[in-house]
Amino acid sequence: MSFGFKENTIDRCIYPKVSGSNFIFLILYVDDILLATNDLGLLSETMRYLSNNFEMKDMGEAYYAIGIEIFCDISQGLLGLSQNAYINKVLERFRIDKCSTSPIPIQKGDKFSLMQCQKNDLERKQMKDIPYAFFVGSLMYAQTCTRPDISFAVGILGRYQSNPGLEHWKAAKKVLRYLQGIKNHMLIYKKYDHLEVIVYTNSDFAGCMDTKKSTFDYVYLLIGGTISCKV
> What does DSSP assign to residue 149?
G
Round the CA-based radius of gyration of the chain to a whole number and report it.
21
Do residues 190 and 77 touch, judged by C-beta distance below 8 A? yes
pLDDT score, position 215: 87
DSSP annotation of 101: P
How many residues belong to the chain? 231
Q: Sorting pLDDT into bands at 50, 70 and 90, what band is 116?
A: very high
What are the tens digits of pLDDT across the range 61-111?
999 988 899 999 989 999 999 999 999 999 999 999 999 999 999 988 888
> Which DSSP state fits 199?
E
3-state class of 116 per DSSP? helix
In this prediction the pTM is 0.86
Residue in 213, 209, 216, 210 with CA at minimum distance from that of residue 231? 216
Please state, in angstroms and rounded to a whole number, the distance separating the CA atoms of residues 124 and 113.
17
- pLDDT tens digits for range 26-48: 999 988 999 999 999 999 999 99
3-state secondary structure of 185: coil
pLDDT of residue 41: 93
3-state DSSP assignment of residue 46: helix
Collapsing DSSP to helix, strand or coil, 202 comes out as: strand
DSSP 3-state of 28: strand
